[in-house]
């Protein structure tokens, strides 16, 4: 498992701690494979996450990476 880096932010008056993914070349390769398998138009974060099968990633991690 990669090193854990957290970002703390405020949501509805509560402090939230979110894990920031360290996008290694291997992790990015798996991301690209999942997007290609689904097709760019059907590559939604929840499906990409399911295909990648990486237990420590969140839907938010995928959605953020998809915007890059």
51 occurs within a structural domain? yes
Domain containing 28: what range? 22-66
In this structure, is residue 31 part of a structural domain?
yes
Write down the pLDDT at residue 56.
86
Q: What does the alpha-carbon distance between residue 57 and residue 20 come to, in Å, rounded to a whole number?
A: 9
Please, which pLDDT band fits residue 51 given cuts at 50, 70 and 90? very high
The pLDDT of residue 29: 96
Percent of the chain predicted with pLDDT > 90: 51
Count of other CB atoms within 10 angstroms of residue 26: 8
CATH number, domain of 39, equals: 1.10.10.60
Domain count for the chain, please give it: 1
Quote the mean pLDDT of the chain: 84
Residue 68 sits at the vertex; the CA angle it makes with 39 and 52, to the nearest 5 degrees, is 50
Residue 49 CA to residue 16 CA, distance in Å, equals 21
């Amino acid at each position: 498992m990669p090193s854990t880096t957290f970002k703390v932010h405020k949501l509805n008056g509560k402090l939230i701690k979110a894990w920031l993914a360290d996008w290694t070349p291997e992790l990015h390769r798996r991301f690209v494979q999942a997007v290609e398998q689904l097709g760019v138009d059907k590559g939604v974060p929840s499906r990409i996450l399911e295909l990648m099968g990486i237990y420590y990633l969140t839907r938010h991690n995928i959605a953020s990476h998809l915007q890059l």
